[in-house]
Amino acid sequence: MKKIVDIICNSMIQILIDTYERIIIWLLVVQYVFVNLIFTTYTQNIVLLKDLSAPLLSLIVFALWICGDLAKYGRWNLPRHGIVTATVGALLYWLIPTIAGTSTAYGTELWGRMFCYFVQVWALIRFMDSFEKMGLFLKALVITNVLIVGYGLTQIMRHDILVDLGLIPDWGAYVFVSTHGNPNFLAGYLVATFPTIIGYWFITKNPLLILTLPILALVNIYEVVESEARGAYLATAICIPLYFIILFLNRENLRFIKNELWLKLNKGLAIFAIIAILAGVVFKRDKLMAVPEKIYNQMYSIVDFESNYTNWVRLVFFQMALDGTLRYPVFGRGLGSFNWNMPETRAVWYHRWGVSHNTDHPHNEHLEWLHDGGILGLTAFWWVLVAYFWTGAKEIWRHRKGYHFPLILAAFLGPWMQWIQGTFDVETRWTGNGVTMWFTVGFVLAFMNLPVLLKESVEAKIEVKVQNPKEKKKIKVNLSEHFQPSQYLPYAAAVLSLIIIFYSIKAWDFWMADHHLRNNMGYTDAGGGTAEYAVKEAEEAQKLSYSTVSVYYKLAYSYLMANRLDDALEAYRTLQSFAPNYAQIHINLAYLNDQMGFRTASAWERDRASMIEHNTRNQRDAAAYWLQLGYPMRAIAHMHYCFTIERERLDSGDMFWYDRDNLLTELARIYAGVGKKDYAKFELKEALDFNSDNFNAALLMDELIGNDEAERNKLRERLEKNSPNNLALVVMNMKKAITEKNFGVGLDLAEQIANLLPLPQPGGQPVEAAQFLGNTILANLQTVFSANFRPEKCLELAGWIYACQGRYGEAETFLSQAYYVSKNPQIVEKLAQVKARL
């Protein structure tokens, strides 16, 4: 029996020795193709499969590599290469901020992704040792790119082919994301890929590729333009001219392909001319002319700090990363900790541009490594970049007279283009882009295994099996030659198998949890199903993924929808511990405390939300709530903070202080409520000086003037001069006519105002003007009604104003009485609209 087992084991080991290298190459190709193409609408995160599959495939490659080497050589062999030393050192150091950081779970995920990418690089350097394997990768790259940009083109033309075929549900809006979930992420993939396509065109001898690769490259560039990703524009503007300049400078060394090169260029120019003519016929001229304008506007916006607020947002993020670094400059705050540490690291001026806190990245690759890993973490990342630059440049120099020089140079620039884009964006942090970029890094550096081809007659498909430039011979290993595998092989195989099984189980759980959240959103976002169903789906997701922020957020919200307030409160408290800097959690907690009767707690949650996200919405909400609780001074403090926010906003040059008049009016209303009329009048004067069209300010000023007709006349003259169309003038004339008992004119003016108020949509909220303006009209209608002047008209107008305020019960009562008196059929129409909203 033992002999049979030994024979089986030896046979399996021999099979492993003979096949593991080829399997690894195919796994790497599958990883590149699958991760770039796959996406799903089965879960809430359409690119979730990219995040789950890339590490799994790298783990399988890693395990197969170790086991194969232990069986074949008795030890695991990492390639001797400068970037291998740099990446191993970086991974070992990044373990420290991962374990010691404040966000260990997310930090582990980020570390795992970097390990996944680096395994790709190591494996390509080790196993891509022939032109045949290089050609396999290039074919996979072209096929993948054709599918991605082809799908993107259908979306640009507003005919999503997968939607039209019924393979995925309609997006519900226009999207241009292809398989990458976001236009910026798609642009990141494109800039890392299309330089290799250009380089491949220079070396291929396939007539079909010679004719089609220029078109494919142009389509890639066109989709980069359509993405409006400024970083991709900048990267293209820097690297593509640099590529052709280097080719030109090296032209003497490329004389042996000069004739073929010129032939290809002529064909490319002819193809480009045909495309341009067809585009001019198919598309409108203005659309074609809009392309250079779009490029110019996007490039200019990079340095536009006057009207482009996203630039200021990035400066805020950069400042936050630097603030966090200053506290722990050497070792950093921990991988993935940027979002967690935002409340204590935010810049003192960050509120000026309405920065959202729902982000995990400072939008700069270098500052993120500095924040997360400190000076040592950033140094480790730079070590990897320098190693790639130096070793890649050496390969370019070695092949400078070789047939593959245009390809190596072009592919070398691809990752740098994505790193340029990552200088003020997050493209390098997304799995699809990461796999593409680091795969290209490994592809470029693997040319160390290939000889320099000096004759154009040598086909790229010829297999030259060497491991390095010295063309070392491979040794065929057979167990029959008395070679003994490593004694650690079974233990390594068992441990690595358990790791892969564990990861697969957790990946499946996460996949199913995200699917349950998708079902939950069918109720919470789309209104399908029941609240109980939504709770059930969210609870299932929580069981499978118990440390994910989005799970608890949707679970808490579902409890709230199902009126399970105690469960909702517990879920929100748990969520608060996961994401203490997410203002929306505190806003939801405030509403929940309102329902449970904890009004003081609700006020404090509103305060916390306004501290985390300094915007006027949160500050005004807190001010209104404290005023309801009888704390006007706290309300005034919040309103004054609004002035700081709005005074320092730079959203647009012609919108400077754009909300100041409304803030002044709200502050004046608070002052008036506590009896400080002089303070209120001063604020209202400031509001009208800033915006004379603000009718709320004018109406409140008119109310505070009281019986001082001289002051009222001054206000009227001012409005007639500066804002003759101000609705407040109509209201003031109405009040004057009614005061002078000219009820007919007063009712006509009241009807004019009432007709301007919109009726809320079913289930919607009334406009703000309907409250204050409507109450003013109602008070004057009471005077006319008491004088028994056209009571049916007073009832009709009062009913319509109540309807515009969303008070449908009172509206029905008044409109019914008006119809009973006048029998006016127009009242029946208004009554029908009100009853439809009851």
Last residue of a domain, one of 581, 603, 629: 581
- C-alpha triplet 544, 550, 556: angle, nearest 5°: 90
Q: Counting beta carbons within 10 angstroms of the beta carbon of residue 720, is it exposed (0 to 12), middle (13 to 18) or buried (19 or more)? A: exposed
561 shares a domain with 446: no
540 shares a domain with 406: no
- C-alpha triplet 358, 361, 365: angle, nearest 5°: 165
Tell which residue, 747, 743, 763, has the closest CA to residue 801.
Answer: 747
Task: For residue 627, tell me if it sits in a domain.
Answer: no
Alpha helices, DSSP H, located in 73-130? 82-100, 104-127
Mean pLDDT, residues 725-748:
88
CATH number for the domain harbouring residue 798? 1.25.40
**Is residue 57 scored above 90 in pLDDT?**
yes
Task: For residue 791, tell me if it sits in a domain.
Answer: yes
pLDDT digits (tens, 9 = 90+) for 190-246: 999 999 999 998 888 887 888 788 889 989 998 998 888 888 888 998 999 999 999
Alpha helices, DSSP H, located in 692-742? 695-705, 709-722, 727-739
Token pair of 125 as six digits? 């350097």
| pLDDT at site 473 | 42
Least confident of 162-176, 321-335, 338-352: 338-352
> Is the Cα dihedral 44, 50, 51, 52 positive or negative?
positive
**Is residue 297 scored above 70 in pLDDT?**
no
CATH number for the domain harbouring residue 562? 1.25.40.10
**Is residue 395 scored above 90 in pLDDT?**
yes
pLDDT digits (tens, 9 = 90+) for 645-700: 766 554 434 344 557 788 889 899 899 888 899 999 999 998 888 888 888 898 88
Least confident of 8-12, 435-439, 554-558, 725-729: 8-12
| pLDDT at site 467 | 39
262 shares a domain with 139: yes
Exposure string of 233-267, with b = 16+ CB inside 10 Å and e = fewer, is bbbbeebbeebeebbeeeeeebeebeeebeebeee
Task: For residue 723, tell me if it sits in a domain.
Answer: no
Band of pLDDT at residue 273, cut at 50, 70 and 90: low
Token pair of 76 as six digits? 């695991």
461 shares a domain with 520: no
Residue 101 near residue 422 (C-beta atoms within 8 A): no
Token pair of 173 as six digits? 């809006």
Residue that the structure tokens 């995160």 belong to: 45
Task: For residue 664, tell me if it sits in a domain.
Answer: no
Q: What is the pTM of this model?
A: 0.77
Range with top average pLDDT, 330-344, 522-536, 593-607: 593-607
521 shares a domain with 468: no
519 shares a domain with 407: no
Band of pLDDT at residue 114, cut at 50, 70 and 90: very high
pLDDT digits (tens, 9 = 90+) for 700-717: 898 888 888 888 888 888
61 shares a domain with 139: yes
Residue that the structure tokens 């690769």 belong to: 213
pLDDT above 70: percentage of residues in the chain: 85
The CA radius of gyration of the chain, in Å to the nearest whole number, is 34
Alpha helices, DSSP H, located in 204-308? 207-227, 230-249, 258-282, 285-301
pLDDT, mean over the chain: 84
Band of pLDDT at residue 480, cut at 50, 70 and 90: very low
Band of pLDDT at residue 278, cut at 50, 70 and 90: low
Residue that the structure tokens 């630059």 belong to: 389
Tell which residue, 415, 359, 425, has the closest CA to residue 387.
Answer: 415
**Can you tell me the distance from the alpha carbon of 403 to that of 256, in angstroms, rounded to the nearest whole number?**
8
542 shares a domain with 396: no
Task: For residue 553, tell me if it sits in a domain.
Answer: yes
Mean pLDDT, residues 249-261:
69
Task: For residue 701, tell me if it sits in a domain.
Answer: no
Tell which residue, 822, 817, 837, 737, has the closest CA to residue 784.
Answer: 737
| pLDDT at site 352 | 47
34 shares a domain with 94: yes
Task: For residue 714, tell me if it sits in a domain.
Answer: no
| pLDDT at site 479 | 46
Phi/psi of residue 45, nearest 5 degrees? -105, 110
Q: What's the number of domains the chain is made of?
A: 3
Tell which residue, 114, 115, 134, has the closest CA to residue 124.
Answer: 134
Alpha carbon distances (Å) from 117 to 42, 69, 395, 715: 26, 20, 21, 70
Band of pLDDT at residue 470, cut at 50, 70 and 90: very low
> Is the Cα dihedral 685, 686, 692, 695 positive or negative?
negative
Q: Indicate the DSSP class of residue 74.
A: S
pLDDT digits (tens, 9 = 90+) for 566-577: 999 999 888 888
**Is residue 533 scored above 60 in pLDDT?**
yes
Q: What's the distance, Cα to Cα, between the start and end of the chain in Å?
A: 84
- C-alpha triplet 811, 815, 820: angle, nearest 5°: 150
pLDDT digits (tens, 9 = 90+) for 436-465: 999 999 999 999 999 888 754 444 443 334
Cβ-defined contacts of 652-659 (< 8 Å, 24+): 652/306, 652/307, 653/306, 653/307, 657/690, 659/616
**Can you tell me the distance from the alpha carbon of 57 to that of 78, in angstroms, rounded to the nearest whole number?**
18
**Can you tell me the distance from the alpha carbon of 650 to that of 657, in angstroms, rounded to the nearest whole number?**
9
**Can you tell me the distance from the alpha carbon of 155 to that of 136, in angstroms, rounded to the nearest whole number?**
29
| pLDDT at site 319 | 80
Domain of 514? 509-581
344 shares a domain with 258: yes
- C-alpha triplet 7, 9, 11: angle, nearest 5°: 65
398 shares a domain with 324: yes
Look up residue 260 and give its amino acid: E
395 shares a domain with 533: no
Last residue of a domain, one of 518, 547, 581: 581
Task: For residue 646, tell me if it sits in a domain.
Answer: no
